[in-house]
Structure 1
Amino acid sequence: MREKREENTASPEMSLLDAPERLRVLHATVPDMAVPDTDFDGITEIAARLFDAPIALVSLLDREWQWFKSAVGTSEPRASSEDSFCVHAAADAAGAGLVVLDASADLRFRSRPLVAGAPFLRFYAGAPIVLDGQPVGTVCVLDVAARSEVAPHLMEQLRRLAGLAAALFKLKDEARRRAIKEAALSREEQRHAMALEAANIGSWLWDVRSGLIGGNSALTRMFGLPADRSFGAREVFGAIHPDDRGATFAKLRQAMKADEEYDGMFRVGDTGRWLLGRGRVHDRDAKGNPLTFIGVTIDVTDQQMSVQRTRLLLKELNHRVKNTLAMLQSLARQTLRQTSDPAEFMTAFAGRLQAISEAHGLLSDHEWGTIRLADLISKQLMPHVTVYADQIELHKDEVLLGPDQAVGLGLVLHELATNAVKYGSLSVPNGKVVLTARNVVEEGEAVLHLTWTEVGGPPVREPKRRGFGSILIERSLDKVLGSSVKVEYMAAGVTALIRLPL
């Protein structure tokens, strides 16, 4: 039995069954090959009628079993791949398929169980199903009666049916992958929404001509407005405390007139909570009239109402928040320039907003002092990987980061990770990112040298056009004098070299 198996394995048909690339394409495109699919029934019914055959199959050839995605004339879900006619049809290098007029007179098949025994098959015609250049199965017909000939046009029709089956497999695979991506995107959007809620940051877009303002749920909650709809500017201003309403409106009007940034703090009338807002006109018409105004709002009630120690902390916090809000404002404007679709805008903007929020969260936990580099890396990269320990390799010295370094570096790490998930090493199961952090002394000053290296990903090509993400990577550390980020698109993977004075 062992000798017979080795002899079979050496044949072209057995080599086909074992071919790694063929099996990879089959398993990747049709992971549910063992499950019958009525969408293919039309193909088997047409094939049976064309050949006036009692049995017709859409079959897939795995290493051990031949699975029937659709079948006419049999209730069996599978058969042995090694004993099948179909492996010979699939192995035809020319792709013409296989015709067996009388299997009982064919040395290749006369001793096969289904030929020598029930149901005593005699006639077979099959055409290969080819996916990504690999023969993964057949559309075939079988009969218990032998035939003297097969008209050439019938085989041509059978090959066309095999082509239709291949196209249908590809369409179903694309639909399956699209559904997986959409489900992942939905989960990501929910996570971003929860993160914005936790960070208590509201974002808004004001259409000046229509007077309508669209905002996220954090904003509507801050102002006590109805959720899940746009609302008028009058509703927003009406929600501000009467003592603060006039000054707030005057600041907004002055900012719009002088093309300056709005920056103000006010209370909400119903709750008395303090909000810090920042915004600017995004675009104007030909006459210079403002068209849209975008901004962000943060609830700063706890800081306003805290004890003296917190008041001292608030002075530092206000400075940091203004810097961060300015960064957020710039991010919102640049992201909005990249897309006019509100859903795409919120997805892209929320990811960058979350990156800054994670750095803010760590800094807040340490009262805006210093935080550990390892903590920042973990916070920024954890959402982008499945198994952190397997996909992120960190070699580091003990490094402490101040607020400007943490916020800027956090945004750089987010953009690098986002690109790696879309195009680089984190887009494939076995890819990973290696980070090396060294605290060195240059001219008596401490400097962080951080290297980001992607390994195990797809081949890399340098983009022909620098997008906003690339610009953001290079400019996120502008507030730290002497810092730099250099991104190199090596064929083996993206490498980023970061220099950051501490």
Structure 2
Amino acid sequence: MHVRTEKTDPPVTRLLDAPERLGVLHATVPDMAVPDRDFDGIAEIAAGLFDAQVALVTLIDRQWQWFKAAVGTDETRAPAEDAFCAHVAAAADSSLVVLDASTDPRFARHRQVKGPPFLRFYAGAPIMLDGQAVGTVCVLDDKPRADVSQSLIHQLRRLAALAASLFKVKDEARRRALKEAALSREEQRHAMALEAANIGSWLWDIRSGAIAGNSALKRMFGLSADSSVGARDIFGAIHVDDRGATFAKLRQAMKADDEYDGMFRIGDTGRWLLGRGRVHDRDTKGNPLTFIGVTIDVTDQQASAQRTRLLLKELNHRVKNTLAMLQSLARQTLRQTSDPAEFMTAFAGRLQAISEAHGLLSDHEWGTIRLADLIAKQLLPHVSAYADQIELHKDEVSLGPDQAVGLGLVLHELATNAVKYGSLSVPKGKVVLTARNVVEDGDTVLHLTWSEVGGPPVLEPKRRGFGSILIERSLDKVLGSSVKVEYLPAGVTALIRLPL
């Protein structure tokens, strides 16, 4: 749905050619040519508000106006210099309303005003990113209008602002995934859970070929720690005898939407690596966009066939659980936290909790670890004086991997809440933990009580956030376990039951 002009206005030409605007557009929305169903709702609301035949969410580059979402047309693009929307973007932070294009000297001679579809009405508001007009939210109709209320124009501008916010959120999520290796120290903490277990993590942007990987991955493939990595670098490092089979397994996993699982050697060193992963997201046509996975050095395990079989079975289980947990944590944290900075803080803290548990388990060859060590690892970052603020009464308790990871997340969430709202938010507050081994029907069960004392008065929250859900569900992998949180006026109390 576009309108041809006989000669592009100078302000429109300057807009289309502006390098600053094009730089912001291409940096923020590199996939502008791909329609995105996340914007369909904005177009549908705009069409309903104006009772218009056509509504669009558009992006405008030098040559094309791309339709990220459209109502009333099957077209996906139009020449940029021919579009009404280019006039809106050229005016920057200002909307454009054309009540009757046939009587407007700017548009009366346009082909689609003089001929089919005989466009008459247009209203559009600019989508602003970093101070640059990169597109519009607009509506079009073949019937002229006598007037449009300012309240409707205000709603259209709000929809454009919502579209801009959504573009920014999607761009920030993409950058976090694709530039993990180049991010700051704070952002790199997201990969600490895998680093602690010496597992290489990677995210492959299939269209560009770029691979964001952590330092463990680069070490395994013999690549420089500060180098950018592409798919050719990774496949080129694989032993020539294993390269074809590895690539075939990846292609099959993408096609069947199944998990990739393969073992191969590095050509220069002969070391054996185990890779696992799957397609992370797809476009609207089902084509894979990114592939996420992990890689483990299993050279030493290969030296002993029996040890390799046992260890690979355990590692496969752990890697699969870790990957699923990380994806679930990312999705749920992002759902609950719209602010990128808050997301980074919440997600990094949860990854740190997993990392601490993995570190202890790794030190003990994924056997068992002491409860006291896990408690210290999880609570030390949240207190300034551990001996004064954490009081522990316990029996000797050993935890297996699933128990340690799940309980570690529970302790992290309880400590985070205590720092924000509970006893650890004040200097004289503390947490009392009591851990007892209890025999029930011949089986040993851990009864762990978390009690906050000396803090501010407690009120039960009106809404259960993701942290509360995570506390209740982190031990789901341990059959028979349970967590009950009570918001007593004197302080939060958590009762944890964990079969050993």
- TM-score for both structures, normalised by structure 1: 0.55
2:374 is matched with which residue? Answer: 376
Alpha carbons of 1:395 and 1:196: their partners in 2 closer, same or farther (altered >3 Å)?
same
Helix, strand or coil for the counterpart of 1:454?
A: strand
2:475 is matched with which residue? Answer: 477
TM superposition shift of 1:437: 1.2
Q: What letter corresponds to residue 205 of structure 1 in structure 2? A: L
2:59 is matched with which residue? Answer: none
Task: Measure the CA separation in 2 of the matches of 1:225 and 1:272.
Answer: 15
Alpha carbons of 1:409 and 1:402: their partners in 2 closer, same or farther (altered >3 Å)?
same
Stretches of structure 2 that go unaligned for 5 or more consecutive residues are 1-183
Task: Measure the CA separation in 2 of the matches of 1:272 and 1:202.
Answer: 17
Q: What letter corresponds to residue 426 of structure 1 in structure 2? A: L
1:271 is matched with which residue? Answer: 269
2:155 is matched with which residue? Answer: none
Alignment partner of 1:353 out of 340, 351, 355: 351
Q: What letter corresponds to residue 236 of structure 2 in structure 1? A: G
2:210 is matched with which residue? Answer: 212
TM superposition shift of 1:389: 1.0
1:249 is matched with which residue? Answer: 247
Name which of structure 1's ranges 462-471 and 374-383 shifts more when overlaid on structure 2.
Answer: 462-471
1:498 is matched with which residue? Answer: 496
1:83 is matched with which residue? Answer: none
Helix, strand or coil for the counterpart of 1:421?
A: helix
Alpha carbons of 1:433 and 1:298: their partners in 2 closer, same or farther (altered >3 Å)?
farther
Helix, strand or coil for the counterpart of 2:294?
A: strand
Task: Measure the CA separation in 1 of the matches of 2:283 and 2:263.
Answer: 29
2:258 is matched with which residue? Answer: 260
TM superposition shift of 1:349: 4.4
Alpha carbons of 1:257 and 1:406: their partners in 2 closer, same or farther (altered >3 Å)?
same
Q: Could you say which structure has the greater relative contact order, defined with CA pairs below 8 angstroms and 6 or more residues apart?
A: 2
Alignment partner of 1:415 out of 404, 413, 437: 413
Alpha carbons of 1:480 and 1:240: their partners in 2 closer, same or farther (altered >3 Å)?
same
Q: What letter corresponds to residue 288 of structure 1 in structure 2? A: G
TM superposition shift of 1:304: 3.1
2:116 is matched with which residue? Answer: none
Alignment partner of 1:303 out of 297, 301, 304: 301
Task: Measure the CA separation in 2 of the matches of 1:344 and 1:248.
Answer: 39
Alignment partner of 2:443 out of 425, 442, 445: 445
Helix, strand or coil for the counterpart of 2:480?
A: coil
1:4 is matched with which residue? Answer: none
Alpha carbons of 1:253 and 1:340: their partners in 2 closer, same or farther (altered >3 Å)?
farther
TM superposition shift of 1:482: 1.0
Task: Measure the CA separation in 1 of the matches of 2:455 and 2:444.
Answer: 33
TM superposition shift of 1:434: 1.5
Alpha carbons of 1:445 and 1:208: their partners in 2 closer, same or farther (altered >3 Å)?
same
TM superposition shift of 1:193: 6.9
Task: Measure the CA separation in 2 of the matches of 1:206 and 1:342.
Answer: 22
Alpha carbons of 1:464 and 1:367: their partners in 2 closer, same or farther (altered >3 Å)?
same
Task: Measure the CA separation in 1 of the matches of 2:326 and 2:348.
Answer: 10
TM superposition shift of 1:346: 6.3
Task: Measure the CA separation in 2 of the matches of 1:300 and 1:316.
Answer: 12
Task: Measure the CA separation in 2 of the matches of 1:414 and 1:330.
Answer: 17
1:236 is matched with which residue? Answer: 234
- Asked if 2 retains the 8 angstrom alpha-carbon contact of 1:278 and 1:325, the reply is no
Task: Determine which structure has more spread, i.e. the larger CA radius of gyration.
Answer: 1
Helix, strand or coil for the counterpart of 2:391?
A: strand
Alpha carbons of 1:189 and 1:393: their partners in 2 closer, same or farther (altered >3 Å)?
farther
Q: What letter corresponds to residue 492 of structure 2 in structure 1? A: V
Question: After the TM superposition, which residues 463-474 of structure 1 pair with which residues of structure 2 at under 5 Å, given as runs?
Answer: 463-474=461-472
**What is the CA deviation profile of residues 177-219 of structure 1, one whole-angstrom value per residue up to 9, with x for unaligned ones?**
xxxxxxxxx8866877777645323333333333322233333
Q: What letter corresponds to residue 295 of structure 1 in structure 2? A: G
1:181 is matched with which residue? Answer: none
Task: Measure the CA separation in 1 of the matches of 2:346 and 2:265.
Answer: 30
TM superposition shift of 1:481: 0.9
TM superposition shift of 1:500: 0.9
Stretches of structure 1 that go unaligned for 5 or more consecutive residues are 1-185
Q: What letter corresponds to residue 254 of structure 1 in structure 2? A: Q
2:384 is matched with which residue? Answer: 386
Name which of structure 1's ranges 289-298 and 343-352 shifts more when overlaid on structure 2.
Answer: 343-352
Name which of structure 1's ranges 204-213 and 456-465 shifts more when overlaid on structure 2.
Answer: 456-465
- Asked if 2 retains the 8 angstrom alpha-carbon contact of 1:438 and 1:448, the reply is yes
Matched, 1:404 2:378: no
- TM-score for both structures, normalised by structure 2: 0.55
Task: Measure the CA separation in 2 of the matches of 1:340 and 1:320.
Answer: 30
- Asked if 1 retains the 8 angstrom alpha-carbon contact of 2:389 and 2:429, the reply is yes
1:323 is matched with which residue? Answer: 321
- Asked if 1 retains the 8 angstrom alpha-carbon contact of 2:294 and 2:319, the reply is no
Task: Measure the CA separation in 2 of the matches of 1:216 and 1:322.
Answer: 18
Task: Measure the CA separation in 1 of the matches of 2:433 and 2:318.
Answer: 27
- Asked if 2 retains the 8 angstrom alpha-carbon contact of 1:205 and 1:292, the reply is yes
**What is the CA deviation profile of residues 45-83 of structure 1, one whole-angstrom value per residue up to 9, with x for unaligned ones?**
xxxxxxxxxxxxxxxxxxxxxxxxxxxxxxxxxxxxxxx
Name which of structure 1's ranges 432-441 and 211-220 shifts more when overlaid on structure 2.
Answer: 211-220
Helix, strand or coil for the counterpart of 1:449?
A: strand
TM superposition shift of 1:475: 1.9
% identical equivalent positions: 91
**What is the CA deviation profile of residues 69-128 of structure 1, one whole-angstrom value per residue up to 9, with x for unaligned ones?**
xxxxxxxxxxxxxxxxxxxxxxxxxxxxxxxxxxxxxxxxxxxxxxxxxxxxxxxxxxxx
Task: Measure the CA separation in 2 of the matches of 1:189 and 1:351.
Answer: 11
TM superposition shift of 1:361: 3.2
